[in-house]
A and B are shown apart, each in its own frame.
Chain A
């Protein structure tokens, strides 16, 4: 059981290039999330998905796109990289809640450190 995995760990992009950050979870979680974390700041939600085929915008979606064709995978796409997208990106997943306990633990991946120059 690997949990949430992200690739790549590090990436340097030139302005205007595109790339896809990969995220996979093996816990059969319906909910998946993409966050970015800037230095000294908290986690800002980019996009999220409540199940395969369903995605929605978070706080900072501009410049990004997502898709959710399977329960396991939730890739994040940057089409035209800009310096403002230099950040650490975290993917997370959670289950709907464990019965009456209402446990909503989110599991995070190890992150992708992206630099755009």
Chain B
């Protein structure tokens, strides 16, 4: 089955700096890669996603890049703000692979003033 590894497990940045979180996946059939943000005491919420026919996608301060050959994808947050502090999860999905998302272990991002 699919295996998703996520790094780093914790990340601390100064407000205004950029943050990068990286994930690798094992199943070359995976073709959909969402990123979720989980605030304290809440369920994960989708913030951005990318499909395998696209190399990069951007939404305001958030961008995701995908390298299918190397089987890794990354989340980039620019101009970080305190409200970006949360746990971020990457995930991978293989359509036809049992309709299941496989999640990474999460990154605790802390944006310091």
Chain A positions within 8 Å of B, measured between CB atoms, are 4, 31, 33, 40-43, 45, 48, 50, 56, 58, 90, 92, 102-106, 108-111
Docked pose: A90 CA to B45 CA in angstroms: 12
Which residue of chain B has its CB nearest to the CB of A49? Answer: B99
Docked pose: A111 CA to B9 CA in angstroms: 22
Can you list 20 A-B contacts (CB < 8 A)? A33-B100, A40-B106, A41-B106, A42-B4, A42-B89, A42-B106, A43-B44, A50-B99, A90-B44, A104-B32, A104-B93, A105-B46, A105-B49, A106-B46, A106-B101, A108-B36, A110-B42, A110-B43, A111-B42, A111-B43
- B43:A90 contact, CB within 8 angstroms: yes
Chain B positions within 8 Å of A, measured between CB atoms, are 4, 6, 9, 32, 34, 36, 41-46, 49, 51, 89, 93, 95, 98-101, 103-106
Closest 7 CB pairs of A and B: A108-B43, A42-B103, A42-B105, A43-B103, A108-B44, A105-B46, A110-B43
Which residue of chain A has its CB nearest to the CB of B46? Answer: A105
Query: Cβ of A42: which chain B residues have Cβ within 8 Å of it?
Result: 4, 6, 89, 103-106
Within the complex, the shortest CB–CB distance from A101 to chain B, in Å, comes to 9
Which residue of chain A has its CB nearest to the CB of B43? Answer: A108
Query: Cβ of B45: which chain A residues have Cβ within 8 Å of it?
Result: 108
Which residue of chain A has its CB nearest to the CB of B6? Answer: A42
Within the complex, the shortest CB–CB distance from B61 to chain A, in Å, comes to 20
Which residue of chain B has its CB nearest to the CB of A58? Answer: B100
Partner of B9 from the list A40, A108, A110 (CB cut-off 8 Å) is A40
Within the complex, the shortest CB–CB distance from B11 to chain A, in Å, comes to 14
Which residue of chain B has its CB nearest to the CB of A31? Answer: B99
